[in-house]
Amino acid sequence: MTLMVTDAVVLHAFDYLESSRILRLATRDAGVRSVLARGARSSRKRFGSAVDLFAQGTAQIHTKPGRDLDTLAALDVSRARPELAADLGRFTGASALAELMLRCAIAVAEPSVYDALLVGLDAVGSAAPGQARAATLASAWRLVAELGFAPNVDACGSCQAELEAEATVRFSHPAGGALCERCARLAPSGRALPAEARVALRVWLSGGADVSTLSDLDARAHQRLLREFLREHLADGRPLRAFEVWEHDEWSAA
């Protein structure tokens, strides 16, 4: 076995056998990894808060070529993020980001993707009351950009013609973004994207996070757009469970 030491954050955790847990980690140096935390359920002394969702720190991981499940020797937590667990809006938003990372990232080093995830989790965790949804949107689109499949908003996704900056355009998920008028007439479906929505997308995709003027109605429209875009570009067809809870506020009626 080889010992790998890397920065990591816990994205998912579930019980395994009588005393252990399996964690899905996003790491700076090896992408997304599945690790076995032996004895994590039987004693909190060994791992402590390291098995909690969104905990971040330095992981010591034993790896073996050809094996899908690594062994977690230790995770020295530097940031526990209790603010995410303290508010359901923040928690569901952070869970949606984690799910996006799990579904799209691979087991290779992608430091910029890892950093975008951390920035997103921190943004959601520090969001003012009522702004967690908007902060999640900004973070999710930035993560999409770093993962390499950002939509076009300033050029036609079909013919690459430049689009007027202040125009309302047709947004086509199969085409990968906005369309010019000519290509929009040929598209079988799409959604109207107002100029102000394009501005927001442009800001978020470039790493900006100004969400102070986003109304609840606009935020929900952006959630639908993001959900439709991800559904189009995730090839496996599996539903995004955490995303569905975040989008539909299913927890609010509990």
Q: What pLDDT is stored for residue 66 in this prediction?
A: 82
Q: What pLDDT is stored for residue 124 in this prediction?
A: 96
Q: What pLDDT is stored for residue 250 in this prediction?
A: 47
Least Cα distance to 170 among 84, 123, 158 occurs for 158
**Residues of the chain whose pLDDT is less than 70?**
42-46, 49, 210-213, 250-254
- Chain centroid to Cα 40, Å, comes to 26
The model's pLDDT over 29-58, given as tens digits with 9 standing for 90+, comes to: 999 999 999 988 766 666 776 788 999 999
What is the dihedral sign for C-alpha 172, 174, 180, 185? negative
Q: What pLDDT is stored for residue 252 in this prediction?
A: 46
Least Cα distance to 252 among 126, 136, 133 occurs for 133
Contact 37, 99 (CB under 8 A): no
Please report the domains of the chain, with CATH numbers, ordered by start residue: 2-80 (2.40.50.140), 83-151+190-253 (1.20.1440)
The model's pLDDT over 193-204, given as tens digits with 9 standing for 90+, comes to: 999 999 999 999
Least Cα distance to 96 among 119, 124, 69, 77 occurs for 124
| CA–CA separation, 24 and 9 (whole Å) | 9
Enter the pTM of the model. Answer: 0.91
Q: What pLDDT is stored for residue 41 in this prediction?
A: 76
User: Most distant CA pair in the chain: distance in Å?
Assistant: 64
Within 8 A by CB and 6+ apart from 126, the residues are 83
Contact 9, 55 (CB under 8 A): yes
Contact 22, 34 (CB under 8 A): yes
